[in-house]
Structure 1
Amino acid sequence: MDRNTPTERTPLTSLSESFERYLQDKGKGRGGDGGNYRRNAARELERFAEWAAGDRGGDDWTGIVPDDVDRDPTFEDLDERVFREYARHLAGDRGLKQNTVQTYYRYISAWCGWCVNEGYLEAHYAQRASAMAPLPEDDGRKPGDQQAWTSEQRHALTRHVDERARDAVEAYTTLPEDTDPLDKQRARYVALKATRDRALVFVLAYTAVRVGELLRDPNDPRRRGVRWEDLSLDDGSMDVYRKKQQWDAASLPDPVISPLRSYRQLMDPPTEQWPVFPTFDQRTLAELVQDDLADRGERPEAITERRAEYARDLLLALDEDIRPPSITTDGARSILQRLSEAAEIDIDHPKHDYLAPHGGRRGMGEVLVRAFGYTVAARYLDNSEEMVRERYSHIEAGELGDVATEALEQID
């Protein structure tokens, strides 16, 4: 159904009939098909619909439709008691943390508010006090967003990737002149991967840029990953698509410039439109190269022969300007898992056994707040000062504790 096509809204309208229109309104990109919010909201709406139909909630739960009626749940069945029961259902899931329950309920509540505005419901039942009463208190902490790289961890990881990249580049650039061409290509590929990983780690460690602003998000077509045209190494800046849905310049501090320059020189991208951090996934690159050469009119036999001339499809893609996609945010997490293990970094965190991307941003925030205060940190982190004060409140609490200790020592 076209999103501009009017829908007849009656109390007997099925709940699921409203989902797609709501998700299009909340989605990103052309047609509202992208975005993490859309994906997460779709998942929770589906769970709510299953619960309302009696397919979730335990053996004794039969759904919100009267027992003597045979139909799917409709808006006629919704009232504040339904949302209160759903809140109780979420809160009773022993596998969910308090703030996760709150998050899941907010998706349903947001849809309920949209339904009021669109004429599906007469009132925002989900926001009524009686409906929300079973929800647990929100402790204010975001699930999985508490790791911060310590100075020791940051130095250990950056030192590891730097040594690894230097060794790989030296091994490639000091090869004898009579080295077999394929062996030389293999050495270049190893050096490219090592310098890409080094550049990625340094950017995550020192720029405090969100990983979703740096790399490709498959759920948001506007986040295609930074390209070389987005970087100005001379000015020390990088254009990124911010969380606030607009392009903005982010700083590239001195520690990041040299790894990026070395990496760019080795890669020698054919155009400025190439991604700074392309995927090295062989299956993806093989399919990309074969499809692109076929589109150019190459026959299958010729494509096979052409690929045989290269040790890796990435090198063929560079020579033929077959632009690969950027690595994804999930890809970055896999890279950091591999590097954290290789660097043998000591990590003590309940959720992550590796240095997660957001930990680099949070760790840099710690450094900035302690060195320059909340106002400067907020500007660098592209956040409001209020939010930075909230997220790094433990720093101020510690400083106040030191003040209290000093005061007690003076009095005593």
Structure 2
Amino acid sequence: MIDDTAGQEPAARPLRSSFDRYLQDKGKGRGGEGGNYRRNAARELERFAEWAAGERGDDDWTGITPEEADHDPTFEDLDERVFREYARHLSGDRGLKQNTVQTYYAYISAWCGWCVNEGYLEAHYAQRASATAPLPDDDGRKPGDQQAWTPEQRHALTRHVDAQAREAIEAYTTLPDNMDPLDKQRARYAALKAARDRALVVVLAYTAVRVGELLRDPDDPRRRGVRWEDIDLEDGSMDVYRKKQQWDAASLPDPVISPLRSYRKLMDPPTDRWPVFPTLDQRTLAELVQEELADRGEQSEAIDERRGEYARDLLLALDEDIHPPSITTDGARLTLQRLTETAEIDIDHPKHDYLAPHGGRRGMGEVLVRAFGYTVAARYLDNSEEMVRERYSHIEAGELGDVATEALNEIDGNTR
């Protein structure tokens, strides 16, 4: 198929121009042509495209482009209001169950996240709180609707990021002294990125901290992301702003300490007020560095020359103590999408085709409930015991089933 949109800017391209490539990336087998996820996603993407173009047969709906527009919907026409309207459309009186609405929307949301990575969109509009507000709440019928990382998935992901970090750090620390400075900086940046990814994964996998407590929320200035001053590696604790609107200490178990310590040594932040998980977005860092140096009295020519001495603006920010913002919760989801894909971890879940941040928390909850019971798990998860019992009721149901089976076996044995 000839792509007649190749010369257009990504944002100006029709929505459908991205579908084949997205589905190929998400498909299974040779050429990404197979898999249930691909088939279901293709169906929902086509429904979304028809709705966006006003082709769904609704008399009072003309689509997301102005009536006088002479083009199919493009990425320039998308914002969080569009996804909010689509959430309303799915949630309307169509006879769909609550979890079905959530599942259908999740296919569109996953595509939206992919479009951010590919440069079609500037932000993950589908995950904004205002966009998802019309979606129905989880009806609670299936505890498994919420993703939980299995032990195998957790081990696969943590092994993958550990191998990446070790390789990148070794490549940087063993460079010869006469190495070209820019090449050495590139190696350091690669090591920092891999070490940051590893630290983020292990914190999400083992601490059960909510991603919104760990990283920056653009809509809430109190959630500015964890800084190094919030972490005590000796005591194994981390101060986070909890969901209950107050600061509290979260535990850092042993598997988290060493990656964080190695990462901090490599980063060598100029002050403890630096974010533990800074954004690596090039545009954000470039604007930040230029604005900060200009505020310090530097002329634009001098700023350009200074930036030219660095392979990445993050490294200049470190040397000049220019604090970058923390990665956002959306950024963490995109990072985990990338890592899940590079680790080649197979995901079979109706809502997510990657290991989502909340799945790490729920996976840790599964471990704690099974090993130590609901009371200990509730304390670690910063939840009430009642809520933990509700969220993990399938564990108790399975245990009671084992008790019933044992009782039946005993009775049957006595009646023979």
TM-score, L = length of structure 2: 0.68
Contact (CA 8 Å) 1:275, 1:324: kept in 2 or not?
Answer: yes
What residue in structure 1 maps to residue 214 of structure 2? 214
Contact (CA 8 Å) 1:145, 1:358: kept in 2 or not?
Answer: no
Counterpart residue identity of residue 97, structure 1: Q
Contact (CA 8 Å) 1:99, 1:139: kept in 2 or not?
Answer: no
> Taking structure 1 as reference, are residues 229 and 144 closer, same or farther at Cα in structure 2, changes over 3 Å only?
farther
Q: CA deviation at 1:408?
A: 1.1
> Taking structure 1 as reference, are residues 208 and 375 closer, same or farther at Cα in structure 2, changes over 3 Å only?
same
Post-superposition CA distance 1:134-176 (Å, at most 9, x none) = xx99732699960000000000000000000000000000001
- The correspondence of residues 238-387 of structure 1 with structure 2, limited to 5 A, is 238-387=238-387
* Structure 1 residue runs without a partner (length 5+): 1-57, 62-86, 102-135
Contact (CA 8 Å) 1:239, 1:250: kept in 2 or not?
Answer: yes
Counterpart residue identity of residue 369, structure 1: V
Q: CA deviation at 1:219?
A: 1.1
Contact (CA 8 Å) 1:99, 1:143: kept in 2 or not?
Answer: no
Contact (CA 8 Å) 1:228, 1:273: kept in 2 or not?
Answer: yes
- Which whole-Å CA distance do the structure 1 matches of 2:229 and 2:324 have between them? 15
> Taking structure 1 as reference, are residues 277 and 141 closer, same or farther at Cα in structure 2, changes over 3 Å only?
farther
> Taking structure 1 as reference, are residues 305 and 254 closer, same or farther at Cα in structure 2, changes over 3 Å only?
same
Counterpart residue identity of residue 383, structure 2: N
Q: CA deviation at 1:340?
A: 0.2
Contact (CA 8 Å) 2:98, 2:139: kept in 1 or not?
Answer: no
RMSD (Å), alpha carbons: 2.5
Work out whether 1:162 is the aligned partner of 2:173. no
Contact (CA 8 Å) 2:98, 2:137: kept in 1 or not?
Answer: no
- Which whole-Å CA distance do the structure 1 matches of 2:137 and 2:350 have between them? 21
- Which whole-Å CA distance do the structure 2 matches of 1:139 and 1:258 have between them? 40
Q: CA deviation at 1:198?
A: 0.1
- Which whole-Å CA distance do the structure 2 matches of 1:226 and 1:141 have between them? 35
> Taking structure 1 as reference, are residues 93 and 194 closer, same or farther at Cα in structure 2, changes over 3 Å only?
same
- Which whole-Å CA distance do the structure 1 matches of 2:236 and 2:97 have between them? 43
Q: CA deviation at 1:410?
A: 1.1
- The correspondence of residues 73-222 of structure 1 with structure 2, limited to 5 A, is 92-94=93-95, 97=98, 139-140=139-140, 146-222=146-222
- The correspondence of residues 41-80 of structure 1 with structure 2, limited to 5 A, is 59=59
Counterpart residue identity of residue 338, structure 1: R
Q: CA deviation at 1:182?
A: 0.6
- Which whole-Å CA distance do the structure 2 matches of 1:322 and 1:365 have between them? 38
Secondary structure in 2 aligned to 1:275? coil
Question: Percent of aligned positions with the same letter in both sequences?
Answer: 84
> Taking structure 1 as reference, are residues 144 and 293 closer, same or farther at Cα in structure 2, changes over 3 Å only?
farther
Secondary structure in 2 aligned to 1:367? helix
360-369 or 91-100, which moves further after superposition?
Answer: 91-100
Q: CA deviation at 1:98?
A: 6.3
Secondary structure in 2 aligned to 1:222? strand
Q: CA deviation at 1:305?
A: 0.4
Secondary structure in 2 aligned to 1:147? coil
> Taking structure 1 as reference, are residues 95 and 320 closer, same or farther at Cα in structure 2, changes over 3 Å only?
farther
Secondary structure in 2 aligned to 1:325? coil
Counterpart residue identity of residue 377, structure 2: A
Q: CA deviation at 1:97?
A: 2.1
Counterpart residue identity of residue 231, structure 2: L
> Taking structure 1 as reference, are residues 145 and 200 closer, same or farther at Cα in structure 2, changes over 3 Å only?
farther
Aligned length in residues: 297
Contact (CA 8 Å) 1:277, 1:326: kept in 2 or not?
Answer: yes
Contact (CA 8 Å) 1:227, 1:272: kept in 2 or not?
Answer: yes
Counterpart residue identity of residue 386, structure 1: E
* Structure 2 residue runs without a partner (length 5+): 1-57, 62-87, 103-135
> Taking structure 1 as reference, are residues 145 and 251 closer, same or farther at Cα in structure 2, changes over 3 Å only?
farther
> Taking structure 1 as reference, are residues 94 and 330 closer, same or farther at Cα in structure 2, changes over 3 Å only?
farther
Contact (CA 8 Å) 1:226, 1:276: kept in 2 or not?
Answer: yes
Counterpart residue identity of residue 235, structure 1: D
Counterpart residue identity of residue 158, structure 2: T
What residue in structure 2 maps to residue 5 of structure 1? none
Counterpart residue identity of residue 274, structure 2: W
Counterpart residue identity of residue 258, structure 1: S
What residue in structure 2 maps to residue 226 of structure 1? 226
Q: CA deviation at 1:91?
A: 5.2
Counterpart residue identity of residue 184, structure 1: K
What residue in structure 2 maps to residue 17 of structure 1? none
- Which whole-Å CA distance do the structure 1 matches of 2:205 and 2:142 have between them? 21
> Taking structure 1 as reference, are residues 237 and 387 closer, same or farther at Cα in structure 2, changes over 3 Å only?
same
- Which whole-Å CA distance do the structure 2 matches of 1:282 and 1:91 have between them? 40
